[in-house]
Every structure is written in C-alpha cells, then in structure tokens.
Structure 1
Amino acid sequence: MRPMADRLRPAALSDVIGQDHLLGPEGPLGAMLASGQLSSLILWGPPGVGKTTIARLLADATDLTFVQISAIFTGVADLKKVFEAARIRRTNGQGTLLFVDEIHRFNKAQQDGFLPYMEDGTILLVGATTENPSFELNSAVLSRSQVMVLERLTLASLELLAQRAEREAKHKLPLDGSARDALLEMADGDGRALLNLMEQVFSWPDTGKLTTEALTKRLTRRAAQYDKSGDAHYNLISALHKSVRGSDPDAALYWFARMLEGGEDPRFLARRITRMAVEDIGLADPQAQAHCVSAWETYERLGSPEGELALAQAVTYLALAPKSNSVYVAYKAARASAKKTGSEPPPKHILNAPTSMMKEQGYGAGYAYDHDAEDGFSGQNYFPDGMKRGVFYHPAERGFERELKKRLDFFVKLRAKRGES
C-alpha cells in the first residue's frame, strides 16, 4: 500500500493546509494564478510543509508539464537532457514547469546554467530550498524569481491534517486528548512527519486509548530541525543573543537549550556568550566578561554534560546583568576618528626622548607628571596638536557605569579648571 503521506497528497491548491498566506485570494500565488501570470519561484521553507505538492499543483493549474529533479542526484549531463526535452516541448506548444528540489545544493556554475532557459521561456523554474535563498542562491537566479516563504505547520494546521488522515483511514487515533496533543508536538511543524507517525500508531494492535506516557514509550520524538551551518543555527543564536540583551533569563535559557538539543558545539556557545558580555554589558558589570571566561574554562575542564551547567549559569548572569554598549559605541567612534585623522602624530610633550637629538626636537618638553599634580590629574592634552578633542565615551546611567560617569564628570571639571588657570 502507498504511504499515507502519498495517499493524502492534495489534489488541488485549495486542499493545501497551512499556507493560506501564499495561496489565499490575497496571497501572492493566489493573485498570480488569478491573473494567469505565473513567474519563476523559489519556495523557501522547512521540510514537510508542501513545497513539492504546491509545485506539482501549480503545473496542473497552468497546464504546464511537470518535471521534477533533485539537485542532489542531478549532474550537468542530466540537466542538458532536461533542458533539451523542455525545448522540444516548447516548439510543440507545451510549456514546462521544472521543479528543482534542494536547489541550493547546485553550485554557482550549475545555477547559472538555468538562466538562458528561464529568460527565453523554455522553462518556468520552481526551486525548493530549506536554506536562506539570499545566502545560497545566485543573485541572477533570485532576480528572475520571486521568493515565497512557506511556514512550518502550526498545531492547528497539524490537527486539520490529522483529521483528514483519520477520515482516509476510516477510524480515529487511539489516543486520549493529551496524547493526541503530544503526537502533534512530536511532528514539530512537519506534516509529512505527522502522517508517518500516525501511520505507525494506526498499525498498532487495538488496546484502547493510549496516554501520553504510553505513546512516548512507543514513539521517539522527531529530532528538532537544526543545521549547525545553516539557517537554524543563525536564527537561534540571534534569538539567544537578543533574549540576553532583553534581560529575559527564561527565554535565554530556552534558546540556549534548543541549540544544545540540536547538537550545537558548547564551545561555540561559550564564545558567543563571552561576546555578549563584551558587546551588551561591558563596563555596566565588569565581572560579566570574567564570569563568561570562567564558565568557558569550567566547560573545558568538565566537558559535557556537567560543564554545560556552567555555561547556563553564565547565560542567566548575563540576562540579569545591567546592560551597556557605551564602550562598544565609543570604540567604533574612536576607530572612525582614527581613520579620518590618518597619520597625525602625538603631541611632542607626551613622547619619550631617549636621545639628545630627540630632546633638541622638543620631545617630552613640558610634560606634566600626573602623580605630581593636584588630585593626581594634570589635565594636559593627549590628542594630536590641532585636532579637536574627541569625546567618544558616554557612560550609561546603569550598573557600575554610574560610578564611571561620576569619575568622568570629575575629570571634565578638573580639565576645565586647569584650562582656566
């Protein structure tokens, strides 16, 4: 018997579940079909949300011949045959919708090979990818296509799919309410995964309704979608970073845990949380950076899983620490100023004069030794002669920087006082 996922493949675009934002009357694909003008497309979304099904149904709706290839198994010679067959069809008045699964796996030269056939109308390209097209596809291909973002299926959409499967199977899932919810969550937004799980449940001997505990003993939760070099990697580290910056320890721990569950290298996380301490906390809490480095060192000594707790402690500490990017902003401003002023030399009074010739040139002349000055502060100029004094660092009124601001204000007053005398 054909697998349930194949038997339940929608026969019309209106049967596709969970992508109304694209296929509805106000959606971009719905509008294209209504106008009879379908352009080349890139369907971007996670597995099991209907990319292949939509491409096939688009071909049916536009009377195009549907041809499917996979970038994993298709070489240059195969592509030439596909293009030649499409050219022959075109001369006979028949168009071709070429569906390329995993299109991001084609290299730049292979992607460039599609361009002339897209431009002359030999093919209408529909590519499917789970990776961010802006990173993985050539700009030339993207400029000739519209990117459609498919969403992972919500629990509500998965429930609709489950009901459809029950009607096809002619009986209900033998699960109580909480177990049914657990099954939907196991699918993790993947419709194909849900149907495969349901097919397993339907095959079990009838022993009455199962509880969540009984279900989870028989089924293994689907592994979370996570590619350490792909989109999920960057999306989740962004979520972790922004949760820390937003002072939400619970959300920060959640995203930290999600990355670990996905198989992320804890050393990568250790580097990133140390970066968070430097960029987003800075001198508002000078201990934050040391805390992260200590947690990193603890992980290196203990390894997994014990060392990961030290990193979790660092994440929690950072989320609750006062935040300041004042030094980060000051550093960028100082770099910009340094680039602008080029090769301006330091003022001669703060240069050392180890030779008599340098002394004759005025090196070190007039230098005021700050320890001998009142309040240990001379107020001398340390910027290049003729350069307007730069003011880069503006401490935040948070955490330890409150104290630093008091010190800075004190020196500003003393500098003004020295200038008047």
Structure 2
Amino acid sequence: MSSKTIAIGDLKVGMFLLAFHDAKQKIAVKKPGRVPSQQVIDKLINDGIIEVTVDFERSTFTTKIEPASWKRDKSKLVAFDNEITRAHRLLKESKATVNKMLENVFAEQAVDLEPINKAADDIVESLSNNSDALHSLSALRTKDAYLAEHSLNVGVLLATFGKYLGWPRSDLAQLIVGGIVHDIGKTRVKLEILNKPGRLEPEEFEHMKLHQVYSKSLLNEIENLTQMSREVSTMHHEKLDGNGYPLGLKGEQISEVGRMSSIVDIYDALTASRCYKKAMSPAAALKIMMGLSGHHLDSELLKAFILCIGFYPVGSLVELSNNLLGLVWESNEDDMKKPLVKTFYNTQYNKYYEVKMIDLATSNLTIKRGVNPFEYNIDIDAYRHQAAN
C-alpha cells in the first residue's frame, strides 16, 4: 500500500495529498493532488491540521532552493586571515578526535560522544565565522589517513550543505557528528580489502558492503547518538532506484539526510586521492555525479549542492586565462565564477611565480578550467599551509 499517514510537519511540497486530519476527524480531500507550495502547507498548519494522508507512489519530491538565502553579510564575518589560523588548529584537533574514536572502535572500546560533539560545535562556529577559512584547508589530505579525513570532510560538507538549506545550528552539529561516524563499520572490514590498491573483486566488494551492517551495531553502542546522525551513516549508500545497500531503500524511504549524505559521500570520495586512484577536480567529480542524477542521487538536492559549493569550490585548484595556476581562496556569492584566487605557478613556462592574490570580480581574467591536483608535480598543499603559519 502506497498511502501513509504522517505528521503535518513532515509534509513537503510535491507530496500527493489524500486526506487531512485535525484533532477530531479525518477529512477527505475533494480534489486529491500534489502540494504545490509551502504556503499551502503553512495554511494547513494554521487551520489546525495535525496529520495528513499521502500517496507516496504519486508523490514527486523537490527541494526548492533560493540561492540568495546563502549570501552572507560579509560585514559580520570574522576576517579570513584571523579565522584561517583558528581553522587550522580546529582541523588538527578534530582529526585527532576522529582518530581517537577510530582507535577505540578498533580496540572494541566504548566511543565517547562528548569530544565528538565538542568538535562538531567548534566546526559549526568556524563555518559561521567565515566558512571559506575551513574549506580552504579541508582539502589537505594524506593517503594513509583517508578514513579519518574522509569522515571529517563529509561532516564539514554536510554542515555546509545544511547551512545553505537554512537548517538550524543544532542540526548542523548533528550532521557533523553523523559524518564523523558514518563509516565506522569500516573498522570491521578486513584491512587487506579496505586498503587494497586496485579494483575489488565481486566477493571482496560484497565484504566491503558489510561495513554498513557493522555500522548499525556499532552505532547502537554509542549513547545519546541522535537519529539524524544515525541516518547519515545508515543511508549514505542507498539509491533512489532501490539498488543501493544495505536495505535497498527506494524513493521517499530514504530521508532527506540520507539523500544529502549520499551526495556528499560520493563527492568527497571522488575528490580525494587513494592508494588506488588519483583525485578528481571538483568540476570533474560533479560532472560524473550529474550523470547519477534522478536514479541514484536526488536531482534537486544535487543542484542545490552544486549551488552551495560551486564548480570551483574554495580550496580547489584552477588555471586562469593568463596561464597562472592557483587555489580558490575566497568565494564570491554574487558570481561563483569570480572568486579570489591565490596564484603561485605558471603553466605555460612550468615554473613557480611570486604568490599573488587575484580577485576575479575586479579583474579581466577568468577561470580557464578546474585542474586535477596531480596534474602538475608541485607541492600544492604548501600554499594552503602558508596562511596558517
């Protein structure tokens, strides 16, 4: 049966409405149909409706995003140079917290949620102060620390995404915690499979997929872990068409948190180097993800994610029209194609140049392309460190 009664607070634009329920009775809808706008939902709430019956098979779900809602009042931001020093320390401390959690899980010891919650609150504060600072450093990677760094980055990206969608601060912290624990089950995967420098054989992949099963039992042992944080872990490998795992959930069986987590998990995995693959540029990763839109990933949420981070996110490597190579340093919400870029290398002459900040908003230069980090044999991360020293 495709119909289900849900709380009015869970009603979303696009759901196919069959009936209302107030405190006294069920009221059939004269003309059943999809909810056209948030205004209709607000009116139902004001009219005292507490529950609604929805036909999920005939529902079409969309996430309406107003990009202007993401624009920041720069006068209220902490200065970038000040916040990046804090962000550098925060990332170092947060990685230590994640590593400690993983060590405890490997040793079959209890996970203490308090330091993880503290790290999540500090990250939310830094994102509120000036999110560019944290993002400019979060691309720092080490291949032998992938699990910890991937987990932390998923949390940071989820919180950034949630902030873009207008979620409250308390929810952002839960998303970060969820990202930190989302791959906790991989601590029970055979190391030779987890760290295999090549494509997994079918039977090895089946074993790898068990990390989702392991995660469920491990999460149950963490006291006071919220449902939202759990859903980041338990749903990030589910697909809209039902071909995901571990449960093969389909469509609206996957919560919004689960859909967001799937997008963020794939993006961070594609843009990270592993022992068996090189990192992709954000633009290349997003192009692949757009091919998964609709059947694997939620198309509207994916569009929102792209609007949130841009094709040239802070911390990514780009080549300008004058052949200078640099890192996207600060974002420009008025025009995502014209950020502040920290240049340091000339691709025409294959030589380092004096570090120079170029604000594309006030320059005739443009971004020629996003660049894969491995394309040039240069120490890119050294230029991320510079501002933090």
**TM-score band (shorter)?**
under 0.3
Higher helix share: 1
Higher strand share: 2
TM-score (structure 2 length as normaliser)? 0.26
Choose 1 or 2 for highest CA Rg: 1
